[in-house]
Structure 1
Amino acid sequence: MIMKRRKRKMPKSILTGILAATILLALILYGYTFLKTRSIEADYPPQGDFVSTASSEEDLHYVRGGSGVPVVLLHGRDGTLQEFTLSIFDDVADEYEAIAFDRPGYGYSEYDHPDQLTTKQQAKLIHEALNELEIEQPIIVGHSYGGAVMLQYLLDYPDQVRGGISLAGVSYMDEPPTEGFYALPRYPVIGPLITNTLVLPLGSIMAPNIYEQAFDPMEPPQKYIEEIASLYLRPKQFTATAYELSHMYDSVNAISEQYEEITTPVTILFGEMDRMLDYEKDGKRLQEALPNSKLRGIEEGGHKIHHSHPEIFLEELADLVDRTQD
């Protein structure tokens, strides 16, 4: 008679110990994230003021300086308004009126409906904020994914904008982005748990490599990594980023089908060594689609050309101002 071996079950005491250790680790990571977020916000508090929008109770955070032609600066998906205050903001404010926003859900701008963070909704909120601030006929500058929001703005409010600058801007998406880690915050229960425990410590390890790619061929400034990465990895902002990414493919494809309708003057600045986007597919392709556009490629430029080549940005901004004089 053949005897079957019984599978040995793990003792309940061991299972209980593993569960207790897991819960304890989660509590430690939750406490770390909570305290670290408080510390980050103490180290990097809001730099500017807040403005309420007409259709939403949430406030948008912005900085404003200078006088003259208004120039509105919109950061990309992994940033905050420090994208500009750590680069070209002061130079722009020396000649024009500079206004840099934390886009909805980013930095210190509120947005309690991250599932609605489409380019159309963001352009609407920025437009309402500018109306509240009594800013008329601005030039809108959009870096990276802020470039897609800028193009949406030009489509939706063509008579209320002077011109646009696509600064290494997103303009086409031939396939949905790979979400990976960014998909997690959208899962019920497990999403908020991971966002409030693992994202900040793991993201702090990964961030330097991401910024090295973005700044290549130049070195990313240490202050930039410390400040923007810290603000970016806070649970609420990371959640907004995750939801924005889920809308990206549909948003960009919706506006890319209408580029021929944009008659507002647009300048496209693109680094020919950009490792995040493609000069040919995103830069030249957009220039060919827009009926009133100008493209300038920067041979030694990467994705952060306003950091590496601020003088070229300022040249092209002055040229766009001249071209749009009444």
Structure 2
Amino acid sequence: MATGLIGRVRAKQAEDAHPPLGRFVEVDGVRLHYIECGAGEPLVIFHGNGSMAEEFILSGFVTLAAQHFRVIVFDRPGYGYSERPHSKVWTPAAQADLLIGALAQIGVNRVIALGHSWGASVAIAAALRHPDAVRGLVLESGYYYPSPRADLALFSIAALPLIGDVLRYTAYPLTARLLWPIMRRNLFSPAAVAPSFARFPSSMAMRPSQLHTSAAESALMVPNAAALQRHYRKLRMPIAIIAGIGDRMVDADGQSRRLHSEVLQSSLHLVKECGHMVHHTAPQRVLAGLEEVRRAACEASARRESSPQAT
């Protein structure tokens, strides 16, 4: 009981110390938090498991992209300050529908979508389900094909009813704090942890509510990949696939290189001496992939407009 109360108090302290930086929009009864900056062609960013919109801001990538794009970074459902009703299983498809609806509500109808890690699955689902809304994809450090992942079973326990509820308010926040230095190194290895990541509000990620979200997404990771892999060849927009060669979280060859071989209109950017967090370690490389997609999308639009069918 006392440990659970401490968990609630610490969650409130984390939110008081890190108030929302952006705006809110409500879609289908779900309140979502997003941060927006820059001007130009819209770019929407979907962060990975365990993270939040602020992490992408801290990386410096958003500042670079905002020089040429209108950048919109969402807290995905259950992360940061976005709600995640328990009445729905928040698959990539469910999140894509919600987030594309949120974009339409704030007046954005055609975007390039950048997804990191778990967010890459959301970006792909958005492109498959809403092809008129997504004109290009940048996929960073994604998990695209099912593979044996014993670690996911451990991470998924916190999503279980009853026992998960107890653990999220007692043992898990303490365990997460103790393991945080190791987890952080694994995210960046073989590169050093980027100085930009030092300001990431880890206390927000260790709130019981966000631990539940992270655990639920860990449980969905393999089924998501199994469901999505049948549809990759249906993607028609330009795609840049980006990964760190030394990624310890997701195998670059078995995931990113394999996807590139299957999707003909994709380009592959493998970054040497880089791990899972390419947008922190090598933000210019991610920006180069984004610019490549933008150019290809513009060329594709010009070809369609000049074709005989368009006249």
Structure 1 residues 226, 202: CA separation in 2 closer, same or farther (over 3 Å shift)? farther
Q: Write the deviation string for residues 62-103 of structure 1: whole angstroms up to 9, x where unpaired.
A: 000111111111111121112210111111112110000111
Q: Which residue of 2 aligns with 1:65?
A: 37
Return closer, same or farther for 1:181/1:223 CA change in 2, 3 Å cut-off.
farther
Alpha-carbon distance between aligned partners in 1 of 2:197 and 2:188, rounded to the nearest angstrom:
11
Match of 1:127 in 2: 100
Structure 1: distance between partners of 2:90 and 2:134: 22
Alignment equivalent of 1:85, drawn from 47, 50, 57 = 57
Q: 1:297 aligns to what SS in structure 2?
A: strand
Residue 188 of structure 1 aligns with which residue? 161
Contact 2:25/2:33 (CA < 8 Å) preserved in 1? yes
- TM-superposed CA distance for 1:221, in Å, is 4.3
Match of 1:41 in 2: 15
Q: TM-score, normalised by structure 1?
A: 0.87
Q: How much has 1:114 moved relative to structure 2?
A: 6.8
Instruction: Give the whole-Å Cα distance in 2 for the aligned partners of 1:240 and 1:139.
Output: 26
Does residue 1:255 correspond to 2:238, yes or no?
no
Q: For the Cα contact (< 8 Å) 1:65–1:93, is it kept in 2?
A: yes
- Structure 2 residue 68 is matched with structure 1 residue 95: yes
Partner of 2:307: none
**How far apart, in 2, do the equivalents of 1:192 and 1:225 lie?**
29
Q: CA deviation at 1:320?
A: 1.5
Q: Contact 2:194 / 2:280 at 8 angstroms: preserved in 1?
A: no
CA-CA distance at 1:226 after TM superposition:
5.7
Q: Which moved more, 1:270-279 or 1:168-177?
A: 168-177
Letter of the 2:23 partner, please give it: D
Q: Does 1:319 align with 2:296?
A: no
Separation in 1, partners of 2:16, 2:221:
32
1:149-228 aligned within 5 A: 149-175=122-148, 178-221=151-194, 224=197, 227-228=200-201
Residue 303 and residue 253 in structure 1: after superposition, are their counterparts in 2 closer, same or farther (change >3 A)? same
Say whether the 8 Å CA contact 2:257–2:268 is kept in structure 1: yes
Counterpart in the other structure of 1:286: 259
CA contact (8 A) 1:41 1:231 kept: yes
- Structure 2: any 5+ residue segments left out of the alignment? 302-311
Q: Helix, strand or coil for the counterpart of 2:20?
A: coil
Distance 1:183 1:316 in 2: 33
Question: Relative contact order, CA 8 A, sep 6+: which one is greater?
Answer: 2
Following the alignment from structure 1 to structure 2, what is the Cα–Cα distance between the partners of residues 225 and 78? 16
- Larger displacement relative to structure 2 (220-229 or 264-273): 220-229
CA distance in 2, matches of 1:301, 1:317: 18
- What CA distance in whole angstroms lies between the structure 1 residues aligned with 2:156 and 2:269? 35
Larger displacement relative to structure 2 (78-87 or 171-180) = 171-180
Task: State the match for 1:301 in structure 2.
Answer: 274
Shift of residue 28 of structure 1? 2.5
The CA distance in 2 between the partners of 1:274 and 1:232, in whole Å, is: 21
Query: Deviations 1:30-79 (Å, cap 9, x if unpaired)?
Result: 222111111111111111011111xx311111000111111111111121
Query: Percent identity between the aligned chains?
Result: 29
Tell me if 1:139 matches 2:116. Answer: no
Amino acid at match of 1:85: I
Following superposition, the deviation at residue 233 of structure 1 comes to 1.1
The total of aligned residue pairs comes to: 298
Deviation at residue 104 of structure 1 after TM alignment: 0.8
Give the conservation status (yes or no) of the 8 Å contact 2:197–2:280: no
- 3-state SS of 1:41 partner: helix
Describe the shift of the 1:73–1:83 C-alpha distance in structure 2 as closer, same or farther (beyond 3 A): same
Cα RMSD of the aligned pairs, angstroms, is: 1.7
Find the aligned partners of 1:102 and 1:322 in 2 and give their Cα distance: 28
